[in-house]
Structure 1
Amino acid sequence: MLAVAGICLAIGAGGIGVATGPVWADSDLPSESASPMRNVSGLVAPVVKAVELGVTPLDGAREVNPAVLPSVKAVNGVVKDVVLQSESGGAPVPGTISADGSTWTAGDPLEFDTRYRYSFTIVDLAGRETKKVQSFSTVGAANEADAAVYPRGGSTIGAGQPIEIVFSEPVINKAAMEKAVKVTVSSGQAVAWRWYSDRRVRIRPESFWAANSRITVDLKLFGVDFGNGMVGNSNVPVSYKVGTQRLAVVDDITKTMKVYFDGRLVKTAPVTLGGEDWLSPSGYAVIMEQERRSKFNAGSIGLKPGDKGYYPPLTVEYANRLTSSGVYVHQALESAWGAVGRFNVSHGCVGLLPADAEWFFTNMKTGDVVQTLNTGAAPVEPLEGFGDWNIPWAQYGKR
């Protein structure tokens, strides 16, 4: 007769652990292994080994990670008639049974915030069947986590555009997250991750993205443990094409802008930069957005009527934003045209004559790079836009 012991093996979160104990209490099947002697005529009947049963997840488990595929394994027996489905109804979760009949494994991941019912039959080596019903529940909706990626997938990006991922929940295990998100670059460029917080990270190569290369960011977040009980709820692949490598170099000494496409000089134009009270930031900046006409307000930089440098609200032509605080490349105001190429009169922006401003707006794109030299001001901070290129490569990937 059979004594059935339950050996529940597990590998993950949500009540899945290691436990040993009776699978079915008060079984109608007494143990044969305890009484190997026989008093019946004929051949001695062999002792039937006890079935060792492993079920994942455990009966009654809660907050089960939906990426952990449920399974039923019988040692010294076979499994049949396995049905795993939501208690609220719907189609059963598909699964497969191993060639020897000992193991059933789910074929699809589970749903979040769902209570499942597990029914199956175990057949021992004597051909006797025992049915079992168990239940468990998966991670609740309040513990789901996901991520948003910028730029939008499928777009063509500038060669200076870092890829930004913002997670809906704090990422505690950052090393594990970096392994879960695979970044592939057709040019073969290696990338580094820069964590600005537990939720915000940016990714870039050592030098600008190679022109016409393709980038794929495969966020395999489903089932990934963010920490604090939060679990990723989706897999999100995004891809980009890199356009021409465009770089505008602005020099405060010469008061000129030189524009290079794929390393070739294509445009030279005079500029005016920030005056002595409003020095233009130095270093690298990335074009964040472009507006044919943009409304400027001195209040956005802390000025009010009567303050030195205050100006009334105005509309600026051909505006290309470089920082969130309001540094732009744009057409200089008509009153400043005489200063272009000669001296600085702006509040930190790069001012161009009308024809040059129109050319810049038309030919440069978001994600392209503007490098400003010799202003005496500090570089653009990384989160003041995309000042990531002002961080040396050796430091960029350090947490």
Structure 2
Amino acid sequence: MEPDDKPRRAGTAKKIFLVAMVCVLAAAGGAFAAVAPGLANAALESEAGSASRSAPGIASPVVAPVTLDVAPADGAKQVNPAAPVSVKVGNGRIESVTLTSTAGDAVQGTFANDGSSWTAAEPLKFNTEYSYTYVVTDGAGRETSTTRAFNTVSSTHEADAAIYPLDGMKVGVGQPLQVIFSEPVLNRAEVEKAIKITSSAGQTGAFHWFSDTMVRYRPEAFWAANSTVTMDMQLFGVDLGNGQIANFNKKVNVNFGDKKVAIADAAAHTFTLSVNDQVVKTLPVSMGDQRFPSARGYAVLMEKNRYDHFRAASIGLKPGDPAYYGEVDVEYAIRLTLSGAYIHQALESAFPFIGNTNVSHGCIGFAPDGAAWVFNNMTTGDVVQIINTDGDYAAHEDGYGDWNIPWAEYDN
């Protein structure tokens, strides 16, 4: 009977071996026994239809969680309209982005080729609420839509500026470039950095702040005759300080004419005009008297009026004062200072004193033909240098007194 026992023992050994192998596999990876189709009769679950996995398994891949970098932050207030607006994604792809104001204006943007980022392609508006919706998919194709909201800098913190000369103007070589801001500027260096000035003659210059709101720019010497200067102001979004944000970019081209510089001599009672450093005309004048001497130094012609109306009260004179002249109409008026110094045709009562005695209230008075000639041959930005007068310099900001400031002081 012994031979019959051997086959039974061999078969039993095989069964025991198979059972042992299954146990070993189960012990080595319990997941295998649960998900392997041949052993558990179950299909693999779809990764796209399941929650993201954060740890690897034997048979199921891991979908890395999507990472997002979105600007501005949800609920952000007083966002600078020039600030970057973007969505950046890691471990996923951006499918769509919609950025719209409450007024319904859509902001266009550009996508990276691989869908990893979106960036607004145009600036935002001031004082505006925006809705910001973006749709992203992860590595398994699952889609997530998110909506955020933010608003931009309010109108109370929006700063504008007035610029002179205006674009395309032709002016004289003494004309400084001027920007007057609607709000005080604390971050002056940031403003200067945002203004690029180039001259066709290769001239460079310097900024000089006359106040917290007014800055001017000029070269060390007068602008080159018949040159062009471009002032490119990329100020949109620049923080002026105290939360005030500039709201404009602007490019201005200024054309300069011939170099015209006149010398008004209070002692000689003459006005001599040179064009491109060549004397072309000398005319007799009457200038400020002893009580109202003409201001010394350089003055830049500010504006021209064929007819103007002068009032004695504007310079502090009252009835009863021997110098009081009431209100008078004058011809060929060219302003030299904001406080009231002019080139103009003298009043008829002053005609006998032209060329020999100073009788004006600080102005430069001409005979009719002389006043007409100057009016027709000089323009805003041209220069008058007043010499041999007892008057002091006019305040630098009382007109364009820039040329009376030493260069070392101006460029500071």
TM-score normalised by structure 2 residue count: 0.84
Task: Name the amino acid aligned to 1:270.
Answer: P
2:8 matched residue in structure 1: none
Greater percentage in helix: 2
> How far, CA to CA, are the matches of 1:136 and 1:317 in structure 2?
58
2:375 aligns to what SS in structure 1?
helix
1:278 matched residue in structure 2: 292
Is this contact kept in 1: 2:264–2:386, CA < 8 A? yes
Residues 1:384 and 2:389 aligned together:
no
Q: CA deviation at 1:29?
A: 6.8
Q: String of CA shifts for 1:205-234, please: whole Å, max 9, x gaps.
A: 111111111122222121111222222222
Task: Name the amino acid aligned to 2:264.
Answer: V
1:127 matched residue in structure 2: 141
> How far, CA to CA, are the matches of 2:362 and 2:101 in structure 1?
61
Residues 1:100 and 2:121 aligned together:
no
Residues 1:375 and 2:395 aligned together:
no
From the superposition, tell whether residues 316 and 89 of structure 1 become closer, same or farther in structure 2 (CA, over 3 Å).
closer
Q: CA deviation at 1:336?
A: 2.5
2:171 matched residue in structure 1: 157
Larger CA Rg, structure 1 vs 2: 2
Q: CA deviation at 1:31?
A: 5.2
Task: Name the amino acid aligned to 1:324.
Answer: L
Q: String of CA shifts for 1:246-291, please: whole Å, max 9, x gaps.
A: 1110122322211011111100112222111111110001111222
Is this contact kept in 1: 2:313–2:326, CA < 8 A? no
Q: String of CA shifts for 1:143-172, please: whole Å, max 9, x gaps.
A: 221111122222111211112211111111
2:12 matched residue in structure 1: none
1:182 aligns to what SS in structure 2?
strand
Task: Name the amino acid aligned to 2:333.
Answer: A
Residues 1:216 and 2:230 aligned together:
yes
Is this contact kept in 2: 1:382–1:390, CA < 8 A? yes
> How far, CA to CA, are the matches of 1:390 and 1:199 in structure 2?
21
From the superposition, tell whether residues 56 and 257 of structure 1 become closer, same or farther in structure 2 (CA, over 3 Å).
same
2:56 matched residue in structure 1: 36
TM-score normalised by structure 1 residue count: 0.86
> How far, CA to CA, are the matches of 1:329 and 1:248 in structure 2?
12
Is this contact kept in 2: 1:145–1:230, CA < 8 A? yes
Q: 1:49 aligns with which of 56, 60, 64?
A: 64
1:335 matched residue in structure 2: 349
How well do the aligned residues superpose, as a CA RMSD in angstroms? 1.8
> How far, CA to CA, are the matches of 2:205 and 2:50 in structure 1?
62
Q: CA deviation at 1:188?
A: 1.4
2:339 matched residue in structure 1: 325
Is this contact kept in 1: 2:162–2:181, CA < 8 A? yes
Task: Name the amino acid aligned to 1:32.
Answer: R
Task: Name the amino acid aligned to 2:341.
Answer: V
From the superposition, tell whether residues 180 and 109 of structure 1 become closer, same or farther in structure 2 (CA, over 3 Å).
same
Unaligned runs of 5+ in 2: 1-48
Give the 5 Å matches for 1:47-196.
47-90=62-105, 92-196=106-210
Task: Name the amino acid aligned to 2:170.
Answer: T
* Overall identity of the aligned pairs, in %: 51
> How far, CA to CA, are the matches of 1:86 and 1:29 in structure 2?
36
Unaligned runs of 5+ in 1: 1-27, 39-43
Is this contact kept in 2: 1:257–1:271, CA < 8 A? yes
Q: String of CA shifts for 1:114-173, please: whole Å, max 9, x gaps.
A: 222222222222222222222211222222211111222221112111122111111110
Q: 1:245 aligns with which of 233, 247, 259?
A: 259
Q: 2:245 aligns with which of 223, 231, 234?
A: 231
> How far, CA to CA, are the matches of 1:317 and 1:211 in structure 2?
29
Q: CA deviation at 1:66?
A: 1.4
Is this contact kept in 1: 2:52–2:64, CA < 8 A? no
Task: Name the amino acid aligned to 1:253.
Answer: A
Q: CA deviation at 1:30?
A: 4.8
How many residue pairs end up in the alignment? 364
Q: CA deviation at 1:242?
A: 0.9
Is this contact kept in 2: 1:380–1:390, CA < 8 A? no
Q: CA deviation at 1:310?
A: 2.1
Give the 5 Å matches for 1:231-310.
231-310=245-324
From the superposition, tell whether residues 89 and 312 of structure 1 become closer, same or farther in structure 2 (CA, over 3 Å).
closer
Task: Name the amino acid aligned to 1:70.
Answer: V
> How far, CA to CA, are the matches of 2:275 and 2:363 in structure 1?
22
Task: Name the amino acid aligned to 2:188.
Answer: K
> How far, CA to CA, are the matches of 2:240 and 2:302 in structure 1?
30
